[in-house]
Amino acid sequence: MVKAKPVCALDDIPLPDGNVGEAALELKIDNKKVFVLAIRQGDSVFLYKNSCPHIGTPLDFNPGRFLNPDNTHILCATHGALFEIANGNCIYGPCEGKNLETIPCRVEGGQVWLG
């Protein structure tokens, strides 16, 4: 079970193009270290475990870089799979139809919270 606790400030996930931002985070969840990707769209944040559902490799092609060149989808560096930002659903690639593992979160008071 994920306890509600602050992850980072919303502004810690920059919006370089004004619309979408990304960041790599290392969290402790249930006393385990978890590598997480954070995608920000405006004031919304989506957290996913940094692991492709196909073979479990990290998704980032450079540290903290998860988005395709158009910033419209999460891109797996290993096989080029594409995932929808808002729900982690794979729409292209060897894991099509599978989902990234969601880390529940909410934005409140300028902070990103687990839970």
Domains of the chain: 6-114 (2.102.10.10)
Please tell me the predicted confidence (pLDDT) of residue 4.
66
Q: How many CB atoms lie within 10 A of CB 79?
A: 14
Whole-model pTM: value is 0.93
Please tell me the predicted confidence (pLDDT) of residue 3.
53
Over range 14-20, report the average pLDDT: 87
Backbone angles phi, psi at 12, to 5 degrees: -75, -10
Q: How confident is the model at residue 110 (pLDDT cuts 50, 70, 90)?
A: very high
Please tell me the predicted confidence (pLDDT) of residue 29.
87
Q: Per residue in 36-57, pLDDT tens?
A: 999 999 999 999 999 999 999 9
Q: Rounded distance, CA 47 to CA 60, Å?
A: 14
Over range 95-105, report the average pLDDT: 96
Residues 6+ apart with CB under 8 A from 32: none
